Chains A and B, each alone.
Chain A
């Protein structure tokens, strides 16, 4: 205690606290830098870890895989039949009925889920000969993949695999095969119906493997694995590891986050950083860009990955690719409990390298602290004397915050009904011009109020980021960085009065940190799939088709804060900067 007292007295004597408070903006900028550095050092040697299978029961590739050349002819036979569908432009309904009859030939119980909006989905259940049938593994095969190509290889392989599985007595979990029209809304609608309304079900789904083989070639080059779920969800790292390990065990190369083939083998700092950043990008825009099928299973405690066969030349044949789902199914079949051993929060740096939440979360927390610090700065460092938090300005700011919240919510709803990105962008550009246009301040809009509004704006941003960062780290991280320019804004009359360059700088910062404008810019830069205004259509369809919250997070988490900061730059009526230190009471 004595030591603490001395320390406390010394701190007071040296006046460290006021000095520290004066430097808050610098501290905050420093923190931002630290956060970025912390993310940047993750791919360095010694910072990341090698992946490992945490759940002993999984034992990937320990059993010999029998899906070999003997099955090749069967797969080929199914494939040529399915090719006929495509050539003859057979309707989806006839195609489903035909495939249903094939499945029934080897004893699969089938049913067709009818949905007017999201099209029909055929599914069948192979009831386990062993076990109680309360758990299931899903093999899902969209008829058309995310690129709109006919998934002929995948469908043939799926039917071949199921026929092969049905002759085997080892299964202790039901196996469900699903043929949806596409990997997006129709698969999502089926998953939802499976958990709510379907009659033919096979227990809780433990894992789902989505197969995408959109060529009629017997051969393929390498395998892409997709794992990002919606709303920041990821499959258990064990399942992803099993998938990667088995694929590599069968002699195929694994590409993550859609990296081209020539960069797969790169190893080093920059390739790892690239994989990590691509992962953050893909997770941020999950559901917004084209989907692969695994996203559809998010939110139901289902671990899902997509295996995509790439290239139609190479020395890997289709049965080798088929052995991957076989071995994954064997591994998951061994599970006695749900997936729980391994990580649910991680970043992948390379197929065999990862970092867990404890390595990357601090940097996101720091970003949130940055905004809290700016909020504190706006509270403490004002020309209006000692800070009193509970006063009239706070109350007014709180009311303004509530109004902006309601307005943002209304805007988000309005945009869902009338998706007009051009109007939205135009409207926001108009908003950024408002501080320029207002020449005469309103009487109630006094200068201390602008500071208090900033307090609440940054505070709100900090709160939004904090609540988001465990659920959806990539989105929180992206939001934190993209909205950073708003912290550089100066209130109109602080020090430099109505200076032209200050006003211009303010406008630039505000424009850059506007949620819609910056999302538009960033999506065009980092993602070739999201051209021009695509991102807004993507956001809306992600909400409508997949119930992905990204749109609401941006509208309700980010936009109100931005509105408040913009408002704080509007010209305000001046009050005396004489220290009117009115104590409470």
Chain B
């Protein structure tokens, strides 16, 4: 069975359009569910930002109070780009972006197959197909969550890094950081990826170029935003400080929110610091340890960011799971595949139920829902540790899988 990129795109678009057509209200429903929407990524808040900015006119007027109201959490350039598209077409815009992500997956697979013999047996269409039929990415697309734009930037950055194209990589990674801050940390594994694949053998030179380009693009994006926003810096606070400080305390699938409830007021600064450091502290070590396997390291770090970020949604997971297809060649090393998969399935099945018990019927409480958040985190943590183990074994066995040798993990 072979799928061309056109076929996969067609499958992807058909499934999504069918979903739209068969359940017209599913978008709103998912957008209200805690699993697919957070205040910083949901379509509700995006629409609110657009409507609030536009009023009755056709363009957003970024007056001084626009970002001060605590409602808008999307960067000015994204809003600027979206204002021209009538709301009725937004559904199709998100489907289009899903297809673009798919095409990048196909491209990515072709490239990694060419460059690393480890991936030679992966069918070119597999990761893309996983993305197309994965219910999580499907529902995320239908819920019109704005993570899709971030994801598109991330995959573009990875593809370009494997191409060894430094300026474009820097542009996309800056763009993804500009949209939702944390993906900027992917620059660390991408440095290694570029060094591995660039035609220029001078590693230091490449690294410095990538960093400088990234700083340049970030500065450029922020400066443009500053200008668009009527020479006002307040968009920085509304977009990024909200994430760093976890300013909107609402339940979500992540591990942050529980510690920011009123009961722990005294410790909130401490928790902010701890979670921030926690998120940061594993990125650089992972990038350094796996500098020889930068592509796998990027995937692992992306998973780590999703696990520890303040406002994760299932759309992030759906995107990340498609990347896991690249681990198929060394899947034999993973020991808890079935366990972590079952854990994850239980987590996502129980989370709406426990949320209902807490918010809906009132017979449960926040502990119920946080317990499910922890189950989810445990599932992702198990997958991550499995991936890291597989990468270590792959290195140990000299890049030719040898499943006969048994090694103890402890």
Contact B338 A463 (CB under 8 A): no
With both chains docked as a complex, state the minimum distance between the C-beta of A274 and any C-beta of chain B, in angstroms: 26
From B236-244, B248-256, B353-361, the one touching the partner chain is B353-361
Let me know if B403 is at the binding interface, CB within 8 A: yes
Task: Answer whether A5 and B362 are a contact pair too, CB < 8 Å, given A463-B345, A463-B346, A471-B357.
Answer: no
Contact B410 A301 (CB under 8 A): no
Residue of B nearest to A8 (CB): B408
Q: Which of B337, B364, B410 is packed against the most chain A CB atoms within 10 Å?
A: B410
Task: Answer whether A301 and B345 are a contact pair too, CB < 8 Å, given A1-B410, A470-B353.
Answer: no
Q: How far is B339's CA from A372's CA once the two chains are assembled, in angstroms?
A: 11
Please give, as numbers and ranges, the residues of chain A lying within 8 Å of B357 by CB-CB distance: 470-471
Please give, as numbers and ranges, the residues of chain A lying within 8 Å of B39 by CB-CB distance: none
Contact A467 B361 (CB under 8 A): no
Let me know if A466 is at the binding interface, CB within 8 A: yes
Let me know if B167 is at the binding interface, CB within 8 A: no
Residue of A nearest to B120 (CB): A585
Let me know if A578 is at the binding interface, CB within 8 A: no
- With beta carbons under 8 angstroms apart, the residue of B329, B342, B401, B408 that contacts A372 is B342
Task: Answer whether A301 and B362 are a contact pair too, CB < 8 Å, given A463-B349, A467-B349.
Answer: yes
With both chains docked as a complex, state the minimum distance between the C-beta of A371 and any C-beta of chain B, in angstroms: 12
Contact A466 B346 (CB under 8 A): yes
Let me know if A263 is at the binding interface, CB within 8 A: no
Contact B362 A584 (CB under 8 A): no
Please give, as numbers and ranges, the residues of chain A lying within 8 Å of B121 by CB-CB distance: 585
Residue of B nearest to A387 (CB): B338
Contact A345 B363 (CB under 8 A): yes
Residue of A nearest to B341 (CB): A389
Please give, as numbers and ranges, the residues of chain A lying within 8 Å of B331 by CB-CB distance: 390, 584
Let me know if B117 is at the binding interface, CB within 8 A: no
Q: Interface digits, A442-468 against B, CB 8 Å rule (1 contact, 0 not)?
A: 000000000000000001000100110
Task: Answer whether A344 and B349 are a contact pair too, CB < 8 Å, given A1-B410, A8-B408, A12-B406.
Answer: no
With both chains docked as a complex, state the minimum distance between the C-beta of A55 and any C-beta of chain B, in angstroms: 15
Contact A389 B337 (CB under 8 A): yes
Q: Interface digits, A1-44 against B, CB 8 Å rule (1 contact, 0 not)?
A: 10011001100100000000000000000000000000000000
Please give, as numbers and ranges, the residues of chain A lying within 8 Å of B363 by CB-CB distance: 233-234, 344-345
Contact B403 A583 (CB under 8 A): yes
Residues of B4-30 at the interface with A, using a CB-CB cut-off of 8 Å, are: none
Residues of B353-410 at the interface with A, using a CB-CB cut-off of 8 Å, are: 353-354, 356-357, 361-364, 368, 401, 403, 406, 408, 410
Task: Answer whether A466 and B349 are a contact pair too, CB < 8 Å, given A5-B410, A471-B357.
Answer: yes
Let me know if B70 is at the binding interface, CB within 8 A: no
Please give, as numbers and ranges, the residues of chain B lying within 8 Å of A379 by CB-CB distance: 338
With both chains docked as a complex, state the minimum distance between the C-beta of B397 and any C-beta of chain A, in angstroms: 14
Please give, as numbers and ranges, the residues of chain A lying within 8 Å of B354 by CB-CB distance: 470
Residue of A nearest to B363 (CB): A344
Contact A470 B410 (CB under 8 A): no
Let me know if B350 is at the binding interface, CB within 8 A: yes
Let me know if A299 is at the binding interface, CB within 8 A: yes
Contact B332 A584 (CB under 8 A): yes
Residue of B nearest to A466 (CB): B346
Please give, as numbers and ranges, the residues of chain A lying within 8 Å of B328 by CB-CB distance: 584-585
With both chains docked as a complex, state the minimum distance between the C-beta of A43 and any C-beta of chain B, in angstroms: 24
Q: How far is B43's CA from A276's CA once the two chains are assembled, in angstroms?
A: 48
Contact A467 B350 (CB under 8 A): yes
Please give, as numbers and ranges, the residues of chain B lying within 8 Å of A459 by CB-CB distance: 342
With both chains docked as a complex, state the minimum distance between the C-beta of B83 and any C-beta of chain A, in angstroms: 37
Residue of A nearest to B365 (CB): A340
Residue of A nearest to B408 (CB): A8
Residues of A52-106 at the interface with B, using a CB-CB cut-off of 8 Å, are: none
Residue of A nearest to B339 (CB): A376
Residues of A355-411 at the interface with B, using a CB-CB cut-off of 8 Å, are: 372, 376, 379, 389-390
Task: Answer whether A233 and B345 are a contact pair too, CB < 8 Å, given A8-B408, A12-B406, A583-B403.
Answer: no
Contact A585 B329 (CB under 8 A): yes
Q: Which of A1, A459, A471, A583 is packed against the most chain B CB atoms within 10 Å?
A: A471
Q: How far is B346's CA from A466's CA once the two chains are assembled, in angstroms?
A: 8
Contact A471 B408 (CB under 8 A): no
Please give, as numbers and ranges, the residues of chain B lying within 8 Å of A233 by CB-CB distance: 361, 363
Q: How far is B195's CA from A457's CA once the two chains are assembled, in angstroms?
A: 49
With both chains docked as a complex, state the minimum distance between the C-beta of B182 and any C-beta of chain A, in angstroms: 30
Contact A299 B406 (CB under 8 A): no
Contact B361 A299 (CB under 8 A): yes
- With beta carbons under 8 angstroms apart, the residue of B329, B337, B361, B401 that contacts A301 is B361
Q: How far is B364's CA from A234's CA once the two chains are assembled, in angstroms?
A: 12
List residues of B whose CB falls within 8 A of some A CB: 121, 328-329, 331-332, 337-338, 342, 345-346, 349-350, 353-354, 356-357, 361-364, 368, 401, 403, 406, 408, 410
17 pairs, CB–CB < 8 Å, chain A vs chain B:
A1-B410, A8-B408, A233-B361, A299-B361, A301-B361, A344-B362, A344-B364, A372-B342, A389-B337, A390-B331, A463-B349, A470-B350, A470-B354, A471-B353, A584-B332, A585-B328, A585-B329
Q: Which 5 A-B pairs have the closest CB atoms?
A: A344-B363, A301-B362, A4-B410, A5-B410, A467-B349
